[in-house]
Chain A
Amino acid sequence: MPEKQTLEEIRERLKEELIENLSLEDIEPKDITNDEIIFDENGLGLDSLDAVEIVVFLQRIWGIEIKDMEQSREILVSIDTMANYILENA
């Protein structure tokens, strides 16, 4: 990471990465709200394969290590929970 990103920058990057890495169809970054529950069927409707994919790109881009399922359940909730964790730990 060359420079410390702001919370807003992290959120935007996260949305772009979700769309790209999870091949989300017909969705643009502006369609994803910061507090929606991403694994909820009424939200993005993501599943367990998406969860492990997110773990990989958080590591690649921000160097975030998520060790186990329990930790992943706490962090991978919404754009906000992920962005806050990245801001504090990247």
Chain B
Amino acid sequence: MNNDKIFITGVGIISALGNSFAETYKSLLTNQINPDKINFFDCNINKPFFKTNLTDTQSSSQMRTKELADIAFFQAIDQAKISTYSKPDTIHRKLKIGICCGTTVASQLNNIEFYKQFREGAIKSYDPVKQYLAGNISESLVHEHNFSGPGLNVVNACSSGSDAIGIGMSWIKKGICDVVIAGGADELNIVPIAGFNSLGILSDSLCKPFDKDRDGLNLGEGAAFLVLEKKSTAKIRKAEILAECCSYSTAADAYHLTTPRPDGLGLSTAIEKALLNANLKKEDIDFINAHGTATKNNDAVEGQLFKKMFKSNTKIFSTKGYTGHTLGAAGAIDAVLTVLSLRKQWIPKNAGFTNEDPDIGFRPVSQPTNYNAKYALSTSLAFGGQNSAIIFRRV
């Protein structure tokens, strides 16, 4: 069995918390919460947003999402000692490396200027289409770095980042890849901003995950990747093992397009299957990095289920007060922050939380906390009633 275990040997992250793992940790230690206004396109929706400090990329030949993905991708492969196309070496050539990336924005041709020209019957340039066709993040990363494994984008809305990690694990277990670089990336873009605003779930203020007075989410942008592989291949490159990726599961609500199932059946199914796959009991989970978007519905479903399912001293935390909801990147950003928490044996405070919600019945981690944890669970819920769960182990 030991040989089948999948480990994380590299992580990369960019979000409103910073441009690297080290910057992210520093920002969390100093409780940096930096919402901002959108300044790289016109936006009349005046809500707080969590943007990265990536400069305006509108004139770039690449999509902003791909630029975010690149930043996180290079950190992850550097840490895992995977050399890229420009630095060929034999070990890298022998490994079958695949890429699986979650996204929402990069899957759509949502260039408004192009579409406007189309409506007017006067398309001036097809460059936006060409950019879109060249912009499938996973395929372009595989192509650019000359990897021999598959490149696949997961478009499972807000759980895509977690699902990409799950697919990566399946590819390794099945022997399709030796190494998978899995994660997610999404940019702040007018389409999801206007869409979430129309659904009435954007908060006017900083989001308050699990708080009694939570009133909606904040959108953010970012990217994160994790390098997944078995110990045998990590050993060849002398890559450090950062954590174990024990199991993944996902389940559908079969309930509603935009509302989570109130009884949490899909989420509990996903968690129970993930526990079963990892051969663990509920009591083994010390820390839960919740989806915790701070909408009324999401936090009620998650909170009530966690309260019912897990031991009372399980630490529960949401990243969204620091990063906003980064959509297709969220599951991957949460995964990297879960690895950070397990490695540092430390949990930041759940930003935005003040008052306990009697309908939920617990307080998330409300002060930075040192702890002793072995297993952590990360959950993601998405549009369409998708629920995903990943379990990590400290090494």
Residues of chain A touching chain B, judged by Cβ–Cβ distance below 8 Å, are: 47-49, 52, 55-56, 69
Contacts and interface: CB of A to CB of B under 8 A. Distances in A.
A88 B256 CA distance: 34
Contacts, number: 15
B200 A49 contact: no
A68 to B, nearest CB: 8
Contacts of A48: 258-259
Interface of B: 198-200, 256-259
Contacts of B200: 52, 55, 69
Contacts of A55: 200
A56 B198 contact: yes
Nearest to B297: A48
B258 A49 contact: yes
Contacts of B259: 47-49
Q: Is the interface of B mostly helix, strand, loop or mixed?
A: loop
Contacts of B258: 48-49
A49 B257 contact: yes
B58 to A, nearest CB: 28
Contacts of B257: 49
Contact of A47 (B198, B199, B256): B256
A55 B257 CA distance: 18
A30 B256 CA distance: 28
Contacts of A47: 256, 259
A48 B256 CA distance: 10
A56 B195 CA distance: 12
B204 to A, nearest CB: 10
Contacts of B199: 49, 52
Nearest to B258: A49
Nearest to A49: B258
Nearest to B257: A49
A48 B259 CA distance: 8
Which 5 residue pairs across A and B have the least CB separation, nearest first? A49-B258, A52-B200, A52-B199, A48-B259, A56-B198
Contacts of B198: 52, 56
Nearest to A48: B259
Given A49-B257, A52-B199, 13 more contacts: A47-B256, A47-B259, A48-B258, A48-B259, A49-B199, A49-B256, A49-B258, A49-B259, A52-B198, A52-B200, A55-B200, A56-B198, A69-B200
